[in-house]
């Protein structure tokens, strides 16, 4: 069935051309980077997981973790993204096979071949550990062997950065990893550090030497139980003839107590090089062909041979004494020497000292070596028994140091020196304890069993909050919503602001960005809009000048007409609101423009005396001109009574004798 993803171009750059591998969580495709014209590998997350934030985070974490590393034995990651509903990351394409494929095809490897594969794996892990990254999922599937023999570590999807304790931990109560390679501390406490990768690499070494993992079971829980409660089996039990130094290397790197394993991959690599030198193992190419692991290719061991336990026999249990850290004492402590048979020249009823019970023809240097080995075995057994007694007595107890007031790193060092495991760290705010300093520990003193957890509470420093400067200028409702979860006491003050719209926040007191304590008062200033504007003096100006002045202040201008004796026609004679009064910004101001003098009606003065007529006309604002023939009564006026004339117009009255 054709893969529908093949042929897609992601982000306009990566053309997916061929499906290389498919797993439960992702599928890997060969692709062409159209921008750089190179072949890459693109890992695409399974569609049903693409909407799960946990798995998307794992993809992103893998990209970031691998991108931090630049090492020839680590698969490089160059890009990560999502397109067309697909979450993906872009990696270096390694043409070849995985170590799992090699083991399935070969069964097992020789010591030299196993070292040839493991050395570059440890070199790549050393670079990761020095960068503060723990892989957490070392297994044959994640070891890639290129067609050119280059070995690379892949799949940093479970990688985590080390915390201040030098450990990582699982999240959400879910233990992730491959149970066949997980260390006891990962299975018991969900914690991992560089020594956890060392354990997994030791398991991989065992599998390369024997052709299978050390533990099997019907369920993952059964396998996990054996990792936690059993010491690692010895490879030479499965493959007789393996050097005992190789057995010891596997045992050292897979001890159940992480404190007595090599510190990190670099220390493991140094131990491996020491074993290579001691045994004189020559360097061989990384294996890619058929197996050469035959009896003739195995190096002879200088360790005493042991009988092979056959699968058809009942499981013969071995009684072993375990040291305080779960170490395995030297073998042979439970063996009995075989008595010589008839014809040997000795009395079978007499038990001779071990130094005298020798086989004919055994060289002297072999006898001396065996004697030294027997003595070392006795001493080791005595030391082991003493250590177990010490451990079961007072040795398993230690004193919890006083940690309050110590720097976090110093507190962790003190706990580790006391043989305790730091459970780090719960963080709390404190007004009295500086950031990074231990506030308290649980337990905070007294005796505790070695290896038990001590919970550290570390100060985050004073608890502070702030009103972000980005809130200034935003609507009040939005600001209230943003500050709803900030534990400060807020109050609101309305104020004019010429630049911020009505109902928007103009600022804070203390000002935005200031660190605030819990329950501290925070004043929110809210704009009432533009402050009122005083109406300028525009009377006597032309309408155009007055309008320009008012518009510049934000007013809207309306115009009316009027008459004025004091203002020339065509000029502003009045303004409403009046000059100097405060008016709302963008409100309307009315200009009254003069069109001439005021007008009045000419009063009727006919029949009146000159004196009376003159008084009425002047009272109306008119001027009087008199024409007199005879008499003092007005017999005619001009303009006539009732006419409308400009104030100040001259009215002529004609006097004569009138009739009473």
Say what the pLDDT of residue 24 is. Answer: 67
Tally of residues, the chain = 660
Give 157's pLDDT tier (boundaries 50, 70, 90).
Answer: low
Domain 533-594 of CATH type 3.30.10.20: yes
List, as one string, the DSSP characters of 377-410: HHHHHHHHHHHHHHIIIIITEEEPPP-TTSBHHH
Q: Which of 8-12, 377-381, 479-483, 582-586 has the lowest mean pLDDT?
A: 377-381
Give 364's pLDDT tier (boundaries 50, 70, 90).
Answer: low
∠ CA(92), CA(96), CA(97), 5° rounding?
110
As a whole number, mean pLDDT of residues 535-560 equals: 93
As a whole number, mean pLDDT of residues 609-638 equals: 87
Say what the pLDDT of residue 326 is. Answer: 36
Say what the pLDDT of residue 347 is. Answer: 36
As a whole number, mean pLDDT of residues 536-555 equals: 93
Structure tokens at 482: 């943003």
φ and ψ of 646, to 5 deg: -65, 145
Spatial separation of the C-alpha atoms in residues 572 and 544, rounded to whole Å: 10
Whether the upstream peptide bond of residue 443 has omega within 30° of 0, thus cis, is: yes
129 has a pLDDT exceeding 60: yes
As a whole number, mean pLDDT of residues 369-395 equals: 66
Spatial separation of the C-alpha atoms in residues 108 and 379, rounded to whole Å: 35
As a whole number, mean pLDDT of residues 473-493 equals: 93
Say what the pLDDT of residue 525 is. Answer: 96
Spatial separation of the C-alpha atoms in residues 160 and 173, rounded to whole Å: 16
As a whole number, mean pLDDT of residues 468-479 equals: 94
Local structure of residue 509 (DSSP, 8 states): E
Spatial separation of the C-alpha atoms in residues 34 and 73, rounded to whole Å: 26
395 has a pLDDT exceeding 70: no
Structure tokens at 142: 């994640």
As a whole number, mean pLDDT of residues 561-576 equals: 90
Whether the upstream peptide bond of residue 112 has omega within 30° of 0, thus cis, is: no
Say what the pLDDT of residue 574 is. Answer: 94
420 has a pLDDT exceeding 60: yes
- Top CATH class of 599-656 equals alpha beta
Say what the pLDDT of residue 587 is. Answer: 93
- Top CATH class of 9-91 equals alpha beta
Where in the chain are the domains?
9-91, 96-292, 397-455, 469-527, 533-594, 599-656
Instruction: Count Cα neighbours of 133 within 13 Å in the Cβ-side half-sphere.
Output: 25
Radius of gyration of the chain (CA): 51
Q: Which of 112-121, 234-243, 416-425 has the lowest mean pLDDT?
A: 416-425
Structure tokens at 628: 């007199």
Same fold, 397-455 and 533-594: yes
Structure tokens at 445: 């003193």
Say what the pLDDT of residue 61 is. Answer: 67
Give 556's pLDDT tier (boundaries 50, 70, 90).
Answer: very high
As a whole number, mean pLDDT of residues 90-112 equals: 92
Please say if 453 is a catalytic residue.
no
As a whole number, mean pLDDT of residues 388-398 equals: 61
- Selecting among 57, 83, 101, 137, the annotated active-site residue is 137
Spatial separation of the C-alpha atoms in residues 407 and 427, rounded to whole Å: 13
Digit-coded pLDDT (tens) for 509-523? 999 999 999 999 999
∠ CA(207), CA(222), CA(189), 5° rounding?
90
Digit-coded pLDDT (tens) for 220-274? 888 988 999 999 999 999 999 999 999 999 999 999 999 899 999 999 999 999 9
- Taking alpha carbons only, the member of 2, 280, 257, 233 closest to residue 115 is 280
- Top CATH class of 397-455 equals alpha beta
Local structure of residue 354 (DSSP, 8 states): T
- Top CATH class of 96-292 equals mainly alpha
CB 65 within 8 A of CB 156: yes
Local structure of residue 263 (DSSP, 8 states): S
As a whole number, mean pLDDT of residues 127-149 equals: 89
Give 564's pLDDT tier (boundaries 50, 70, 90).
Answer: confident
Spatial separation of the C-alpha atoms in residues 226 and 256, rounded to whole Å: 11
pTM comes to 0.46
Spatial separation of the C-alpha atoms in residues 504 and 481, rounded to whole Å: 13
327 has a pLDDT exceeding 60: no
Spatial separation of the C-alpha atoms in residues 167 and 193, rounded to whole Å: 5
Average pLDDT, the chain: 81
Looking at the domain 469-527, which fold is it? Trypsin Inhibitor V; Chain A (3.30.10)
Say what the pLDDT of residue 65 is. Answer: 66
Spatial separation of the C-alpha atoms in residues 631 and 609, rounded to whole Å: 9
Say what the pLDDT of residue 343 is. Answer: 34
Spatial separation of the C-alpha atoms in residues 646 and 623, rounded to whole Å: 11
Say what the pLDDT of residue 389 is. Answer: 57
Of 442 and 327, more confident: 442
Say what the pLDDT of residue 143 is. Answer: 94
Say what the pLDDT of residue 151 is. Answer: 95
As a whole number, mean pLDDT of residues 175-189 equals: 81
Q: Which of 57-71, 196-210, 303-317 has the lowest mean pLDDT?
A: 303-317
527 has a pLDDT exceeding 70: yes
47 has a pLDDT exceeding 90: no
CA-to-CA separations, 294 to 236, 282, 367, 608, in angstroms, rounded = 14, 17, 29, 157
Give 322's pLDDT tier (boundaries 50, 70, 90).
Answer: very low
């Amino acid at each position: 069935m054709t893969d529908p993803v093949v042929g897609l171009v992601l982000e306009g750059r990566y053309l997916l051309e061929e499906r290389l591998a498919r797993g439960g969580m992702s599928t890997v495709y060969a692709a062409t980077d159209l921008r750089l014209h190179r072949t890459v590998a693109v890992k695409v997350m399974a569609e049903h997981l693409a909407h799960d934030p946990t798995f998307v985070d794992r993809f992103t974490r893998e990209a970031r973790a691998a991108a931090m590393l630049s090492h020839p034995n680590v698969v490089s990651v160059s890009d990560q993204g999502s397109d067309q509903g697909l979450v993906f990351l872009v990696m270096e394409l390694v043409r070849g096979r995985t170590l799992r494929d090699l083991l399935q095809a070969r069964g097992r490897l020789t010591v030299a071949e196993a070292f040839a594969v493991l050395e570059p794996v440890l070199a790549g892990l050393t670079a990761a550990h020095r960068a503060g990254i723990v892989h957490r999922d070392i297994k044959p599937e994640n070891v890639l062997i290129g067609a050119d023999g280059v070995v690379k570590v892949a799949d940093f999807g479970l990688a985590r950065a080390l915390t201040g304790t030098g450990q990582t931990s699982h999240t959400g109560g879910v233990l992730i990893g491959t149970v066949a390679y997980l260390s006891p501390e990962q299975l018991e406490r969900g914690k991992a550090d560089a020594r956890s990768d060392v354990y997994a690499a030791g398991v991989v070494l065992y599998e390369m030497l024997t052709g299978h993992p050390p533990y099997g079971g019907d369920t993952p829980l059964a396998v996990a139980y054996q990792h936690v409660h059993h010491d690692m089996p010895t490879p030479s039990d499965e493959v007789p003839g393996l050097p005992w130094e190789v057995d010891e290397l596997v045992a050292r790197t897979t001890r159940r107590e992480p404190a007595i394993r090599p510190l990190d991959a670099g220390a493991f690599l140094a131990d491996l090089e020491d074993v290579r030198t001691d045994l004189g193992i020559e360097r061989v190419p990384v294996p890619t062909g058929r197996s050469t692991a035959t009896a003739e290719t195995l190096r002879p061991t200088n360790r005493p041979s042991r009988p092979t336990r056959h699968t058809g026999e009942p499981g013969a249990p071995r009684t072993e004494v375990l040291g305080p850290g779960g170490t395995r004492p030297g073998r042979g402590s439970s063996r009995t020497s075989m008595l010589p048979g008839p014809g040997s020249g000795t009395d079978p009823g007499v038990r001779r000292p071990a130094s005298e019970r020798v086989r004919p023809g055994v060289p002297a240097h072999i006898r001396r070596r065996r004697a030294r080995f027997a003595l070392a075995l006795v001493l080791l057994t005595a030391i082991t028994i003493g250590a177990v007694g010490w451990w079961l007595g007072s040795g398993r107890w230690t004193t919890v140091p006083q940690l309050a007031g110590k720097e976090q790193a110093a507190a962790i060092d003190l706990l580790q020196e006391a043989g305790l495991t730091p459970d780090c760290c719960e963080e709390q705010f404190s007004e009295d304890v500086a950031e990074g300093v231990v506030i308290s520990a649980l337990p905070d003193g007294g005796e505790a069993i070695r290896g038990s957890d001590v919970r550290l509470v570390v100060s985050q420093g004073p608890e502070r909050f702030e009103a972000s400067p980005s809130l200034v200028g935003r609507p009040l409702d939005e600001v209230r919503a943003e500050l709803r979860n900030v534990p400060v006491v807020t109050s609101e003050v309305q104020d004019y602001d010429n630049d911020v719209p009505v109902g928007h926040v103009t600022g804070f007191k203390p000002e935005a960005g200031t660190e605030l304590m819990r329950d501290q008062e925070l004043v929110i200033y809210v704009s009432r809009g533009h402050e009122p504007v005083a109406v300028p003096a525009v009377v006597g100006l032309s309408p155009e000048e007055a309008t320009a002045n008012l518009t510049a202040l934000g007013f809207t201008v309306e115009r009316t007409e009027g008459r004025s004796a004091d203002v020339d026609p065509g000029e502003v004679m009045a303004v409403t609101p009046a000059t100097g009064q405060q008016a709302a910004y963008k409100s309307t101001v009315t200009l009254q423009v003069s069109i001439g003098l005021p007008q009045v009606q000419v009063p009727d003065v006919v029949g009146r005396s000159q004196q009376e007529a003159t008084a009425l006309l002047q009272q109306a604002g008119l001027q009087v001109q008199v024409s007199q023939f005879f008499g003092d009564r007005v017999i005619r006026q001009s303009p006539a009574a009732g006419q409308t004339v400009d104030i100040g117009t001259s009215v002529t009255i004609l006097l004569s004798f009138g009739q009473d």
